[in-house]
Structure 1
Amino acid sequence: MKINRLSLLNSLFNVLNENNQGDPYFILAEYFLEHYHELSRLNIYDVAADCFVSRSSIRRFCQAIGYENFVAFKDEFAQYDDQRASFQKHAGRENYRETLTQEINAMIAELDQRMNTAEVERLAERIHDAREVVFLTSSVGATSVAQFQHSMIFQNKVIRMVSDMYENIDFVKHLQKEDLLLVISGSGLFAAASRDYLRDNPAYKILFTLNRSHDFDDVYDTIYHLSAADRSQEAKSVYYTYGTIYVLDVLYSVYVKKYGDSQ
């Protein structure tokens, strides 16, 4: 499985958000998002005609977001069908609001207990003492990490985050034993995709996950499970969607209380 596929939608939205409306890359990203359901039936000639761009422009666009050509791009994008069905099933549940509220309350109660340990303080110490601190996360967890990243600036600690095509980012490859690498992977899919890539990285590696498989034991120095139960198969688990924010907020509070006055 290509690591890049996990962040393909995020890459397309980044192109959409960061380019002017008339830019060819903006036009292509918008087109691919709007034609998601029929992408497998499109060919490069249709796209070139509809978007008023050349085939070479389409090829360059695909390469810019990590794919060799348009065919490779289509093959990867098609695999999001299962995710779409899962999201629709989750949002279509009966009594959605009431059920979601109950799930969030139960999640907060469990995380409140799981975070009430000295381990949180030890994690704060690792972040404080590390030369470089890097978060790797799929697009789902990027927002939570970004909030933590911004907050840590007020503590004079620069946190780096990579969520797209990180196998091409040199500084991740060159981390040393004095550095801290934190991976957030709710289902474990992101961790599985990056396992071989990270295995020999000398940085101290920590995984946050809902997956209780032992497949990651030989890669990470420490694994923090966000729940006592294996929730890796739950679509849009509240533990991942909301729990990550809670965990990082608590961690930030502990960090401020321990090191805030000394900055």
Structure 2
Amino acid sequence: MSNIRIQLLNIINRDSSDSMNFIIAKYILENLERMKVISTKELAEECNVSKSSISRFCRKIGYEDFMDLQISIATYNSYVNDQFPRLEENSSKDFIQSYFECTKAIIDYLEKHLDIEVLEQLVQDIHDYQRVVLMGHVQSSFPAFSLQHYLTILHKFVYSTQDLNEQKGMLEKFDERNLIIIFSAGGKFLERVLERTSVMNRRHIPKIYIITANKTTHFPFVYKYIELGETFNYASSVGLEIYSKLISLMYRKKYTDF
């Protein structure tokens, strides 16, 4: 599974727009679907940077060398039909109505299946742990950052990251004193971040919650999976956003007096 788009978006969102890394990331993103084979020299010329800048860029986003980057570009798949339904035969009114129906179905599922005890346990852990880290990628990072924002208002500091390399390092090194909450619409976060899930087969690991909109593979080192739907579709991220808000509301109810 290629993570190239996530890694490039992380550069776009964090680096200055006139930096070399931003320029390189922007070019690759704009040409990702058609740029399956390109040399270091060609990429450097297109971005008006040196070949050494390309090498540094590769290391910056977690690749050993340019060949590693090339492999990731060549194997990239946008899975566009999983993100957006085919709309050619639908009128604008029809596909908008379809989206609303999918969203309503997600809300109905949450209302019927929400485990309040699990929600309360998660909120208690957020309150009790000194170090809490929220993780997500692309659309799943929005509920993570939103939760960070609201918890800060409620005087609870938590850290949020969508940097794949930083996430990998935390999962591999953090111990039981740490709480990690992962938002993953499709449920494939761990397979995407960890080269080997066996790295988690150690004695002292962080307490991990995974909040997903999909039924997914359960790893034994994950403390709790919170599955907010049966299958992933283009409206699934709505469920994550609602659950994120429920966490902050429950925290407000239980742990603030202002």
- Normalising by the smaller structure, the TM-score range is 0.7 to 0.9
**SS class of match (1:223):** strand
Q: Kindly tell me: are residues 199 and 112 of structure 1, through their superposed partners in 2, closer, same or farther at Cα, counting changes over 3 Å? A: farther
Q: Between Structure 1 and Structure 2, which shows a larger proportion of helix residues?
A: 1
Q: What is the correspondence of 1:1-263 to structure 2 with a 5 Å cutoff?
A: 5-6=2-3, 8-87=4-83, 89-90=85-86, 94=90, 95-115=94-114, 117-166=116-165, 171-193=170-192, 194=194, 195-200=197-202, 201-213=204-216, 215-227=217-229, 229=230, 231=231, 234-236=232-234, 238-239=235-236, 241-261=237-257
Distance in 2 (alpha carbons) for counterparts of 1:93 and 1:134:
43
CA contact (8 A) 2:144 2:160 kept: yes
How high is the TM-score relative to the length of structure 1?
Answer: 0.83
CA contact (8 A) 1:152 1:158 kept: yes
CA contact (8 A) 2:135 2:144 kept: no
| Matched-pair identity in % | 22
Distance in 2 (alpha carbons) for counterparts of 1:53 and 1:28:
8
Q: Kindly tell me: are residues 124 and 91 of structure 1, through their superposed partners in 2, closer, same or farther at Cα, counting changes over 3 Å? A: farther
2:222 alignment partner AA = Y
Distance in 1 (alpha carbons) for counterparts of 2:226 and 2:249:
18
Gaps in structure 2 of 5+ consecutive residues: none
Structure 1 residue 252: Cα displacement: 0.8
Structure 1 residue 254: Cα displacement: 0.9
User: What is the CA RMSD across the aligned residues, in angstroms?
Assistant: 2.5
Q: Which deviations, in whole Å up to 9, do the C-alpha atoms of 1:37-62 show, x marking residues without a partner?
A: 22113222222222221111111111
Q: Kindly tell me: are residues 136 and 86 of structure 1, through their superposed partners in 2, closer, same or farther at Cα, counting changes over 3 Å? A: same
Q: Which deviations, in whole Å up to 9, do the C-alpha atoms of 1:19-54 show, x marking residues without a partner?
A: 444432222112111211221132222222222211
Q: Which deviations, in whole Å up to 9, do the C-alpha atoms of 1:222-246 show, x marking residues without a partner?
A: 221112x2x1xx443x23x111110
2:246 alignment partner AA = V
Structure 1 residue 179: Cα displacement: 2.5
**SS class of match (2:64):** coil
CA contact (8 A) 2:213 2:228 kept: yes
Question: What stretches of structure 1 move > 6 A for 4+ residues in a row?
Answer: none
Distance in 2 (alpha carbons) for counterparts of 1:135 and 1:28:
28
Distance in 1 (alpha carbons) for counterparts of 2:115 and 2:67:
50
CA contact (8 A) 2:140 2:183 kept: yes
CA contact (8 A) 2:147 2:245 kept: yes
CA contact (8 A) 2:171 2:206 kept: no
**SS class of match (1:31):** helix
How high is the TM-score relative to the length of structure 2?
Answer: 0.85
